[in-house]
Chains A and B, each alone.
Chain A
């Protein structure tokens, strides 16, 4: 199998490093593979190269050797699978490489949430070209929710899904719950610790969770667009609200919710004994089904090797189901 990696940041390098470190095991499960091209905004490499050398080069020089663009590589190289791990963008530009691959009949595995921009269109494109679009890593990182919905629960009616889909928000709310510190103080500490980004607004305003909810909703058959999601972030939550909530047996979490009746991301009262009262940067989801009752999953929502693991899981699934 020939693999092209587009995007060579945290996740892209994580995937490459795992492919090197676990090559023997991986090949036993999916057969021989070769990474035939890697490209990002600053550089690229293709043809006959060793994956470990590319990783090393990028680490040392901060870019890949060639100036050939990712667009050109996506269009012209010959590959069976594209691992698309570029930056999430909320417009069509974020899904161009994927479209290029799918049109050629190559499957795509991605962690890029830009698929929310035109989920249905991409799925149709994949189907029309006998290719697959796999996106486990886009929602909840390595928490296996997409596979759970698409495969294990394929014959269930999914009544709705509620999830904690943003680790930064959950971290801030957890600390507010435990230490009753003001929002601004926890946020600045989280930035220092690298848990929150320098510009955290997409996280704390609920936008990131909203994008993931679009993907989840579409996965359960609700053709939602980003504009359909009602979004309230966590910036106005106070430590005092936690005190009041906890007297009533609740905590507060940012919950993304999708059902036929409801599409929203908002801070919610969660019973202290609910599994959704999960702590720290963890992601979690509760799936309500017709015949299987409630199903709960949790896992790490981000991280280099966690996210790369979700990508490899998709790779395995792709081979297994072909």
Chain B
């Protein structure tokens, strides 16, 4: 199962730096979910700490870290004790009030962090990829249960991944 990792990397303040960090993550199968520049926290050497979070399975994450360490100063690396899941929604995702769907899934300990809608021909059902992260597996389970319920109500098919756990 893919987990959410976060790392803080120190980058020189010049163009192209960020891309060269992101490239190995993507190439090794990581899925970037957030980038946060800590501009206010410039280091004495004028580097900017950037916090990057991505999802990957543990093996890939290790490979990514090894590769990044060769070229960058990694200040911190860790698995966020967070649960994450990406799934597909198929149906009239937009016509059924997407923002309402998301609002109702979000809670104090779970949120939709990524959403990608592929629009089809007019009036055909569309496909959305949605990523939800949560503070714990239980919170994720609850968010998922809410999403299933909402989608049942709205006639949207939820296609969940098969994870290690049954």
Contacts and interface: CB of A to CB of B under 8 A. Distances in A.
A276 B157 CA distance: 21
* Interface size range of chain B in the complex: 20 to 34
A216 B133 CA distance: 32
Contacts of A255: 162
Nearest to A242: B127
Contacts of B127: 238, 240-241, 243-244
Given A269-B88, A269-B160, 15 more contacts: A159-B166, A160-B166, A236-B157, A237-B157, A240-B118, A240-B126, A241-B88, A244-B88, A244-B116, A244-B129, A262-B166, A267-B157, A270-B161, A271-B162, A276-B162
B120 A274 contact: no
Interface in B45-79: none
Given A236-B125, A250-B161, A268-B159, A241 B90 contact: yes
Given A261-B166, A262-B166, A238 B90 contact: yes
Contact of A269 (B87, B91, B118, B120): B87
Interface residues of A, number: 31
Interface of B: 29, 31, 86-88, 90-91, 116, 118, 120, 124-127, 129, 157-162, 166
A185 B128 CA distance: 23
Contact of B125 (A162, A238, A244, A261): A238
A70 B106 CA distance: 59
A38 B162 CA distance: 44
Given A236-B125, A241-B127, A257-B166, A269 B161 contact: yes
A45 interface: no
25 contacts: A161-B166, A232-B157, A236-B90, A236-B157, A237-B159, A238-B125, A240-B118, A240-B120, A240-B124, A241-B88, A243-B118, A244-B88, A244-B118, A248-B129, A249-B29, A252-B88, A261-B166, A266-B158, A266-B159, A266-B160, A269-B87, A270-B161, A271-B161, A271-B162, A276-B162
Given A244-B127, A245-B88, A238 B120 contact: yes
Given A257-B166, A268-B159, A248 B86 contact: yes
A270 B91 contact: no
Contacts of A160: 166
A237 B90 contact: yes
A268 B166 contact: no
A257 B166 CA distance: 8
Contact of A162 (B124, B157, B162): B162
A269 B162 contact: yes
Nearest to B117: A244
Contacts of B116: 244
